[in-house]
Amino acid sequence: MKKLKDILYKAGLVEVNGSTALSVSSICFDSRKVEKGSLFIALKGTRRDGHTFIQQVAEAGAVAVVCEKFPEKFNENVTYIKVNDSASSLGIIASNFYDTPSERLTLVGITGTNGKTTVATLLYNLFISLGFGAGLISTVEYKITPPQKVLPKGEDLGGASFSASHTTPDSIQLNQLMKQMVDAGCTYCFMEVSSHAVAQKRISGLKFAGGVFTNITHDHLDYHKTFEEYLTTKKKFFDGLESDAFVLVNKDDANGRRMIQHTNAVKRWYALKASADFNCKIMENQFAGMLLNLDGTEMWSKLIGTFNVYNLLAVYSTAILLGQDKMKALTALSNLRSVDGRFQQINSGSGIIGIVDYAHTPDALLNVLKTIREIRTDAQKIITVVGCGGDRDALKRPVMAHIASEESDKVILTSDNPRSEDPEEIIRQMQKGVERVHQKKVLSIADRREAIKAACSFATAGDIVLVAGKGHEKYQEIKGAKHPFDDVKILSENL
């Protein structure tokens, strides 16, 4: 139980009708989860407006309601709190209800179009391998690992693990997770910060020790409508950082400077091409890994590709900014493995190389294919299986097919997560991006399982089969239902 007046601290109250001396047993914004003693926060969503449920939650036992406008009738057993912005107030209320957990952790947020999951996950693995207790909030999963002894090989030490429902959870779940991290003895938390989360103010009330910007390219235009809006939304995360935080920026990205032009945080840069606070050079690049000169010291990494060099450099730079020893950080970094579904290699007995990658944006797909082209020999063919999700940004569909056909020896256009759309229509939209000169090497097979099977049948020893778009996902969403589907498993079986 928490005192209402305590959890409303700094929540932006405009007017109160009733007493704030009462106690609250739980907080929620879902009218279906209200129970006796709840505080209900009325949010305006894209499909539902929580204000229409105020009378209903009062009858269900809510003792207090936070809203942007008072109802026409008051229930004498309920305290009504008017605020300017319910979504922003929810984050602050959730933080107060769970004893401000982000202030008791060293919380680092990672944002950008590509690389968020890899950077966040590698940071988490790096810090637990150094013996710290750490938490992870990512697209793939949420993890909580208490402090343990140092394991030099960087194994995942386990701890509690939960499947992720969103890249960045809602404000209540975020603070619940961080409270669990604090209770488990964690001192660090690394989380992805999505543009949706910033726009919907899910990170309101959180105290960040630092923010990392990876890059920004074409994505989520189904939600943000324009690239400018997408960029501006991402930028708000850095605008909100305080002066005692740091911001680490990819200097090679054209929009890096703009991202942090209004931040109060301490600015630091990493780059492969430009002079920066943290630099790295690729000495060797193979399917087995890379030899790097990172910050003046040579190290071997099991990860592959220029895009992963940026990820590794961001992880190393963040570790140094958080006060870690350089050599210990480099040693731990050299032992880290790739993240599931991110350039995940599958080697077959026949000598065919399978690669599964989450590349679902034009830039990510181009990076993966360029990496393969840089490493392969002239005799090795690249066979790419790729699709585009339904009910999402349609503008990138022909672009994805254009990149795949330009950079591959053979391409199979297929279904991704069609959701409510017709997969054949999505493929037709993709086909518009294939130039005439490449049409003979492009095949369309809507059934993703059959597409992967066909790609493997076309391959011979030494060839590379890339299955792009779904990565770590273990399902395929069709007409509102999720069906079991694992690219890694299916590719392995066919190889």
Q: Enumerate domains of the chain plus CATH numbers.
A: 2-96 (3.40.1390.10), 100-334 (3.40.1190.10), 344-494 (3.90.190.20)
Do 256 and 250 contact (CB within 8 A), yes or no?
yes
DSSP characters for 14-41? Answer: EEEES-S-SEESEEES-GGG--TTEEEE
Q: Fill in the DSSP letter of residue 339.
A: P
Report DSSP state, residue 319.
H
Under 8 Å between Cβ of 448 and 414: yes
Gap between the Cα atoms of 87 and 178, Å rounded:
19
Q: How far apart are CA 189 and CA 183, in angstroms?
A: 13
Cβ–Cβ contacts within 10 Å for residue 47, how many? 4
pLDDT tens for the chain, 495 residues: list them: 999 999 999 999 999 999 999 999 999 999 999 999 999 999 998 788 999 999 999 999 999 999 999 999 999 999 999 999 999 999 999 999 999 999 999 999 999 988 999 999 999 999 999 999 999 999 888 999 999 754 444 444 456 776 665 667 899 999 999 999 999 999 999 999 998 899 999 999 999 999 999 998 865 455 646 888 888 999 999 999 999 999 999 999 999 999 999 999 999 999 999 999 999 999 999 999 999 999 999 999 999 999 999 999 999 999 999 999 999 999 999 999 988 888 999 977 889 999 999 999 898 899 999 999 999 999 999 999 999 999 988 999 999 999 999 999 999 999 999 999 999 999 999 999 999 999 999 999 999 999 999 999 999 999 999 999 999 899 999 998 999 999 999 999 999
Beta-strand ranges (E) seen in 295-438 are 297-301, 344-347, 353-357, 382-388, 410-415
Nearest to 177 by CA among 87, 95, 92: 95
